[in-house]
A and B are shown apart, each in its own frame.
Chain A
Amino acid sequence: MSEALDLARQALLDAPGLSENALSQVMDKLLSRRVDAADIYFQYSRLESWVLDDGIIKEGNHSIEQGAGLRAISGDKTGFAYTDDLILPQLLNAADAARAIAHAGKNDRHGIAPRSDLPQLYAPINPLDTLSENDKLDLMRKLDTEARAQDPRVQQVTVSLVAAHDTVLVINDEGKMSGDVRPLVRMNVSVIVEQNGRREQGSSGGGARRALDFFLEQDRALGYAREAVRQALVNLEAIAAPAGMLPVVLGPGWPGVLLHEAVGHGLEGDFNRKGTSAFSGRMGELVASPLCTVVDDGTLPDRRGSLSIDDEGTQTQHTVLIENGILKGYMQDKMNARLMGMPETGNGRRESYAHLPMPRMTNTYMLPGESDPQEIISSVDKGLYAVNFGGGQVDITSGKFVFSANEAYLIENGRITAPVKGATLIGNGPEAMTKISMVGNDLELDSGVGTCGKEGQSVPVGVGQPTLKIDEMTIGGTAT
């Protein structure tokens, strides 16, 4: 018995007054041509956000999105339409538009069969209601006070708090009906510090598929305030970053954005089916140093990138992408798995009912190795130690990827010395991965801040890695 499924049926079928019979009519319409697959995705999302700036609670917003996306697939062709009006005539219209992709013919019909056998990785709660408004705002004010108390050079503090309650229901052409209730909370602190006319910024945050008390445990959110100030103060002392090829040591946790860009996107099923990825056709080959084992795991409890089921109703899993350097697996949605004759991996995700699903990452990370992190740093004569990053990007075809450090230091004679200004690092995915020569024993996952963009769609993801050393990478500083 699945509480999430029951809640999803209540919110998305009972509330708008859609009967099982109505649902069958819509599915019949979708399947009235020769399609290989079809689904209906219902969604109801509530999101609340607050912003503290200049020491006051400046903004608050409450948002509701609801609708249904209908998809019909024939071979590798997809027809898609959606409606934000959950009434039968609109759903039938959308079904009519979506099925037009397919030729005349017919399909087997199946009765609707709720799937209540799937495990839940997070409580099906509405996180918006898990703290009183006053408690939410008090927490934000505390972070403002905490950040300002760290150092008199703090000039500006912005604190944001977002809570989302996302309820989805998927019915596919086999009649299988799955539901999920997805809480997601996120806080962030960003600060600006000033010293002798020089200004720098720092920011820190975290989140999870949890109630808002996540931020109160172990003074977690206060830690974001301290961390944001620490980063900004480090940057006040930063000198120009080097330009050119040097050994790079990446710290544990969030620098795992490396894996997301260097290998993650290139191992998504759609690009490999189409042969457009630098990793296309390389299954079973050595694509990384034998020290590297990289996985995508949507099953980590409460994690930002985790999902009990993906947006096609497939249970998520622990998928080995690279094992000891050998390419072992791709991340798949249903369509690409079917077309490639490979197993589904529960990576079919979409930004909302108004977007088409495609293979996407969940939590992507590298398993720990043997090296002591200190030993890794000591092994470098002259190089860069980078511990915090902004975003990244990849050209999956050429394999070139970038990610931008916003906290980094020089390593000189095996010791961490001066902080350097933010710089973009660029490399070639398969090549950079083979240059990983040391992997630490200190695996960390990020604090729950990642958002991945692909073809204009954003989804929450996680990354992680132990400390690791890349023998050489191009560092985009200005000091030559």
Chain B
Amino acid sequence: MSSTDANQLQQLVSELLDEAKRQGASSAEAGVHAQQGLDVTVRLGETETIEHTNDHGLGVTVYFGQRKGSANTTDLSPQAVKETVAAACRIAKYTSEDPAAGLADPELMAKNIPDLDLNHPWDIDALQAADIARECEDAARAHDPRINNSEGASLHTQNTLFVYGNSHGFVGGYPTTRHNLSCAVLAGEGDQMQRDYWYTSSRLPERLESAQQVGIKAAERTVARLGSRKIKTTECPVLFNADLAPGLLRSMIGAIRGQALYRKASFLLDQLGESIFPDWVQIDEDPHKLQGIASAPFDNEGVATTPRKLIDAGVLQGYVLDSYSARKLGMQTTGNAGGVRNARISSTGESFEDLLKRLDTGLLVTEMMGHGSNQVTGDYSRGAAGFWVENGEIVHPVEEITVAGNLKEMYQGLLAVGSDNQIPGSIDTGSWLIERMTVAGD
């Protein structure tokens, strides 16, 4: 962060808020960010791209009573501050009076901002980054003679600094870092060609999986797909591999977001206090998890975040609300402007191998394709690839199939969540075993 530091960004936020006041706004909120990063890709042993990223942005939302307008720009100059506020004020002349519009209530603003240990910059140059990526790709290519091509391995590191403030007098900001290493390789056998990948991601460079491990995992996943074929259309139990299970939980979170609920665009309407999952399921949100990928001490409106239960004994405990959707629903914000931060679902304790045994005969899904999930109805139909399992043993890889059902029924039919969590992400879960779905193939 050579050209911009925290003080400069704080200064910009207060200038934006002052300027909004000068231009007549009754209240305002502003955010500023600066991000620097390095992205290096190595392919077939050679450095392919070196990208230096360097982004800035400022955004402001102004309120004139119950009318609102917003504007943003990549330009942080003093001139841009004036013009951006003016653009937001102009917009607010035309928007409608909206009783639900406005900042979050002042008493909800975060009062102390805990240090969540999110900032661990990686002092690394392009050559060092390329060496790590090369080690990763080399490990993948050397792992099996059937690995015959590569999309490369990439190392990405970024430092972000952001500051948010509003006219309640709240101002807060903090630096964060994020580092990723990924690898994608191809394998061939006969006339079949397959590709797969693996990755690791962390706030701390030393918490990444090793380059070797990532490469080997990418290779293993790719080679395992060779010989894939379709299966006959059937109904069977389905095991969603741990790296895909977060998507199923995200669909639930999407459906209990305030924006979906007040628009009645949700398959989980009026489910507060109702049983959505079997009674052994607990889902917690922990926005204060130290070093967490999605951790934040306050939300996008300055509201203090708090750890809480989303699901207890299978029953929905609360919605995911920001102040706007909360007012629309006659409720209180849950500090979720910007989303759910670090959700974790309870495990039934089985290892992956135990889950395969419990699946017995059915489908293990390791890849999903497309976006066929309907938030209004819960209808779910997506492309998939994976493995056919009989008597708890993997029999052969499967591709060009779909898995379909309805999310509400899939949640009720959740038989087990494994203890095989693989990638520490914003959603922490093991593999999901679902009682029954329709698998379409031949």
Considering only residues 83-105 of chain B, those with a C-beta below 8 Å from chain A are 83-84, 87-88, 90-98, 101
B228 part of interface (Cβ distance < 8 Å): yes
B75 near A84 with CB under 8 A, answer yes
A61 near B91 with CB under 8 A, answer yes
Closest to A271 in B: B151
B54 near A83 with CB under 8 A, answer yes
B73 near A276 with CB under 8 A, answer no
Given known pairs A80-B51, A156-B263, A245-B442, the reply for A476 and B383 (CB within 8 Å) is yes
Main secondary structure of the interface of A (DSSP, over half): strand
B405 part of interface (Cβ distance < 8 Å): yes
Q: B441 touches which one: A244, A392, A395 (CB < 8 A)?
A: A244
Cβ distance A333 to chain B, nearest Cβ, rounded Å: 14
A478 near B126 with CB under 8 A, answer no
Q: What string of 1s and 0s marks CB contacts (under 8 Å) between A374-413 and chain B?
A: 0000000000000000111111011011111000000000
Contacts of A278 in B (CB 8 A): 193
Main secondary structure of the interface of B (DSSP, over half): strand
A201 vs B75: C-alpha distance when bound (angstroms): 39
Considering only residues 87-134 of chain A, those with a C-beta below 8 Å from chain B are 94, 97-98, 100-101, 133-134
Q: Count residues on chain A whose CB falls below 8 Å from chain B CBs.
A: 74
A237 part of interface (Cβ distance < 8 Å): no
A84 near B372 with CB under 8 A, answer no
A84 near B54 with CB under 8 A, answer yes
Q: B265 touches which one: A67, A79, A192, A402 (CB < 8 A)?
A: A192
Q: What string of 1s and 0s marks CB contacts (under 8 Å) between B368-385 and chain A?
A: 011110101101011101
A155 part of interface (Cβ distance < 8 Å): yes
Q: A426 touches which one: B54, B93, B374, B402 (CB < 8 A)?
A: B402
Cβ distance A398 to chain B, nearest Cβ, rounded Å: 6
Contacts of A423 in B (CB 8 A): 372, 381, 402, 404
B370 near A64 with CB under 8 A, answer no
A354 near B87 with CB under 8 A, answer no
B195 near A276 with CB under 8 A, answer yes
Inter-chain CB contacts under 8 Å: number: 241
A200 part of interface (Cβ distance < 8 Å): yes
B290 part of interface (Cβ distance < 8 Å): no
Given known pairs A423-B404, A477-B440, the reply for A404 and B75 (CB within 8 Å) is no
Q: Which of A76, A392, A400 counts the most chain B CB atoms within 10 A?
A: A400
A394 vs B399: C-alpha distance when bound (angstroms): 13
Q: What string of 1s and 0s marks CB contacts (under 8 Å) between A46-80 and chain B?
A: 00000001001111111111110000000011111
B71 near A76 with CB under 8 A, answer no
Q: What string of 1s and 0s marks CB contacts (under 8 Å) between A356-386 and chain B?
A: 1000000000000000000000000000000
Cβ distance A26 to chain B, nearest Cβ, rounded Å: 15
A80 vs B400: C-alpha distance when bound (angstroms): 37
Cβ distance B142 to chain A, nearest Cβ, rounded Å: 19
Cβ distance A294 to chain B, nearest Cβ, rounded Å: 21
Q: What string of 1s and 0s marks CB contacts (under 8 Å) between B267-282 and chain A?
A: 0010000000000000
Q: A402 touches which one: B192, B369, B376 (CB < 8 A)?
A: B369
B372 near A424 with CB under 8 A, answer yes
Given known pairs A67-B74, A80-B50, A354-B53, the reply for A397 and B371 (CB within 8 Å) is no
B401 part of interface (Cβ distance < 8 Å): yes
B233 near A156 with CB under 8 A, answer no
A477 near B193 with CB under 8 A, answer no
A-B contact pairs, 15 of them (CB 8 A): A61-B71, A61-B72, A61-B91, A62-B72, A64-B80, A64-B84, A81-B54, A155-B264, A192-B264, A245-B441, A391-B370, A400-B369, A426-B369, A426-B383, A474-B441
Known contacts A62-B70, A393-B383, A478-B405; can you find 13 more A-B pairs with CB under 8 A? A56-B95, A59-B70, A66-B75, A82-B53, A100-B126, A155-B264, A158-B263, A192-B264, A201-B265, A243-B438, A244-B440, A275-B149, A398-B225
Point out residues on A near B: beta carbons under 8 Å. Answer: 53, 56-67, 76-84, 94, 97-98, 100-101, 133-134, 137, 155-156, 158, 192, 194, 199-201, 241, 243-245, 274-276, 278, 354, 356, 390-395, 397-398, 400-404, 421-424, 426-428, 474-478, 480
